[in-house]
Amino acid sequence: MLSKVIEDALNKQVTIEAESSQVYLAMASWAEVQGFEGVATFMYAHSDEEREHMLKLIKFINERGGHAQVSQLSAPPTEFGSFREMFENLFQHEVKVSASINDLVDISLQEKDYATHNFLQWYVSEQIEEEALARNILDKINLIGDDKGGLYLFDNDVKQLITTANPANPN
């Protein structure tokens, strides 16, 4: 059985994961409009992945005797200026999500809820991967600079990151 403190904290994370899905979705749409099919495909896939993270939380809350809440979401930005700015925003967003997961782990320990603590370890590992991926992409974009040919090649290459990052689920 979840304590009210844990239930509320997990429900807050449900909202954060849903908003993460929306952030990736907005970035996918922006990239698609800019003509970068590879980046759009990558972002659409990550939007789906973030929704799966949200659903995993919802099922956990409900299975543990809580009641998962679906809340109103903040609208993500729809314009990003440049790919560098978009991926900088993405990296900062992932850092914020990591901090929220870390807070949840701390709360689970304070509440002596070791089942939730164990459950959250998957999210801790996932966030390490998400931050590393965003940082890696940002490093590549910084290397490319404003070179249009480099951005074109990057757009084609980024599709490979979908299957590399998630070989079991390439969609």
pLDDT on residue 163: 53
Of 69-78, 96-105, 112-121, 139-148, least confident by mean pLDDT is 139-148
Q: Quote the CA–CA distance of 130 and 141 in Å, as a whole number.
A: 17
| Candidates 3.40.50.150, 1.10.150.20, 1.20.1260.10, 3.40.1280.10; CATH matching 4-165 | 1.20.1260.10
Evaluate whether 97 touches 16 at the Cβ level (below 8 Å): yes
Upper half-sphere CA count for residue 91 (Cβ side, 13 Å): 15
Region of poorest pLDDT, from 14-23, 104-113, 114-123, 154-163: 154-163
Closest CA to 23 of 86, 98, 68: 86
Q: Is the pLDDT of residue 166 over 80?
A: no
Tokens of 48: 């789906």
Q: Taking residues 31-53, what's their average pLDDT?
A: 95
Distance (Å, whole) CA 95 – CA 134:
10
Domain extent listing, the chain: 4-165
